[in-house]
Amino acid sequence: MTTFFKPEQTFLSGSKTLSRDYYLLPDFFAREIGQIFTRSWFCAGHVSRIPNAGDYFVLDAYGESIIILRDQKEEIHAFYNVCRHRGTHMCEETEGRFSKTIQCPYHAWTYSLDGKLIGAPLMKDVADFNKEEYPLHAVNLYVWQGFIFLNLASSPQPFEQVFQPVLDKFEGWNLPLLKSARRIVYDVKANWKLIFQNYNECYHCPPVHPQLAKISPFTSGENDLISGPFIGGYMSIEGASSLTLSGKVCALPVGDLAQEDYQRVYYYSFSPNMLLSLHPDYVMFHTIWPQSPTQSLIHCEWLFHPEAFGRADFHPEDGIEFWDITNRQDWHMCELSQIGVASRVYQPSPYSPREALPAAFDKNYLQIMNQEQ
């Protein structure tokens, strides 16, 4: 039995916003890359992006270029996009399909889709050269509920251990089977933490999202995950059947849902880069890619039941447009915040009790940043 709390019930009184350095200084950003992003499990995308053998996409993540692909045996792998010969960046496209191999464009070293070096012209003339010793550098990978998670650490904490609080939480939502209908990339001039803080409260909903606030009362939120790297809960849908422009459901239910889930949207943020929003008829997820202290790319994708596609009652745009409008309203507020916190007069200020989750996000963030390295 899951216990839910109103935000004000779990609010740590006295919580204040972060100081401006955290949103501005390149030194802090470098520490975040070193202490958070290159040590954590982060979401690279959903398996439905590479449905067939040979399909791949290339991700720029925290200064690294990574190829994520499905091999001939349907297994998913991630490799650094770095040739083992002279280090050349091999794959320039952002997505596509490999025939059966990956070939470096420079001197044609060739790798199988599971990363083995299988061709290296003239290298047999090199004494002691052994192809087995030069596979592509693999990235730690774990597929959880259809989402591909990667970790750049040399020996990361096991995924199941880190994700223990949510490991079995979304059974019934069919997440591994869902198919993507749309992906939008937003370029937002705001620090990545402002985006997490914004996602985790609806105190801003009446002024910022009149459309959303009309069908999902901003005070209806209750949270079951209230501290640590995974936080969130649900909000009610009232006077509508889903969060869509029409207010009607736009597709088949995504899963075998409990009765109450048809009138709820669940919102969870997984530090350091994923936001997962579960609606009765679609699942939206964001991944956040910090580019600098003041800029973030946000990938947003909408997933639907595989059998919904092609049916007469499938209107994905109804949900997608609803959230595209809402996303842009949020990003605009994050950009205004970024400008304001850069001012010399900005000081940490009290959070409201409705902002229990942003306060919890900051607390978890500071704990990691202040850990002895």
Which amino acid is it at 262? Y
Tell me if 232 sits within 8 A of 266, measured CB to CB.
yes
Nearest approach, Cβ of residue 85 and ligand FES (Å) = 3
Q: Is 182 in the site for ligand FES (CB under 6 A)?
A: no
- 299 contacts 45 by C-beta, under 8 angstroms: yes
Instruction: Supply the minimum distance, in Å, between the C-beta of residue 301 and Fe ion.
Output: 18
In sign, the C-alpha dihedral spanning 321, 323, 329, 335 is negative
Kindly write down the DSSP assignment for every residue of 4-24, as one continuous string. Answer: -B-HHHH--TT-BPPPTHHHH
| Contact of residue 211 among Fe ion, ligand FES, none (CB under 5-8 Å per partner type) | none
* Nearest in space to 180 (alpha carbons), one of 320, 70, 59: 320
Q: Which of 35, 88, 219, 241 binds ligand FES (CB under 6 A)?
A: 88
CB 199 to Fe ion: min, Å: 7
Nearer to Fe ion, 71 or 330 (CB): 330
Assess 104 for contact with ligand FES (CB under 6 A). Answer: yes
How many chain residues interact with ligand FES (CB under 6 A)? 9
Residue among 86, 97, 183, 332 that touches ligand FES (CB under 6 A)? 86
Residues in the chain: 373
Residue 226 DSSP symbol: -
What is the nearest approach in angstroms of ligand FES to the Cβ of residue 129? 13
Q: Binding of ligand FES at residue 137 (CB under 6 A)?
A: no
**Toward Fe ion, which CB reaches closer, 81 or 329?**
329
Q: Say how many residues touch Fe ion, by CB under 5 A.
A: 1
* Strand residue runs (E) in the chain: 42-46, 55-61, 64-70, 76-80, 95-97, 101-103, 110-112, 117-119, 140-144, 147-151, 179-188, 222-225, 230-236, 264-270, 274-278, 283-292, 295-304
Verify binding: residue 281, Fe ion, rule CB under 5 A: no
Does 254 engage in binding with ligand FES (CB under 6 A)? no
Quick check: helix, strand or coil at residue 2?
A: coil
Tell me which amino acid residue 120 is.
A
330 binds, among Fe ion, ligand FES, none (CB under 5 to 8 A by kind): Fe ion
Taking the complex as a whole, the smallest distance from the CB of residue 293 to ligand FES amounts, in Å, to 34
- By CB under 6 A, tell whether 107 contacts ligand FES: yes
Query: Sheet holding 222-225: strands in order across?
Result: 179-188, 295-304, 283-292, 274-278, 264-270, 230-236, 222-225
Task: Report the nearest approach of Fe ion to the CB of residue 251 (Å).
Answer: 23
Of 301 and 330, the one with the shorter C-beta distance to Fe ion is 330
Among 20, 85, 89, 169, binds ligand FES (CB under 6 A): 85
Binding partner at 88 among Fe ion, ligand FES, none, C-beta below 5 to 8 Å by kind: ligand FES
Q: Which of 122, 132, 157, 126 has the alpha carbon at shortest distance from 142? A: 157
At 210, the amino acid letter reads: P
One symbol per residue from 293 to 332: x for binding Fe ion (CB under 5 A), - otherwise; what is it? -------------------------------------x--
In 179-252, DSSP assigns E strands to 179-188, 222-225, 230-236
User: Could you tell me which stretch among 79-87, 188-196, 221-229, 328-336 binds ligand FES (CB under 6 A)?
Assistant: 79-87
Site residues (CB under 5 A) for Fe ion? 330
Site residues (CB under 6 A) for ligand FES? 83, 85-86, 88, 104, 106-109
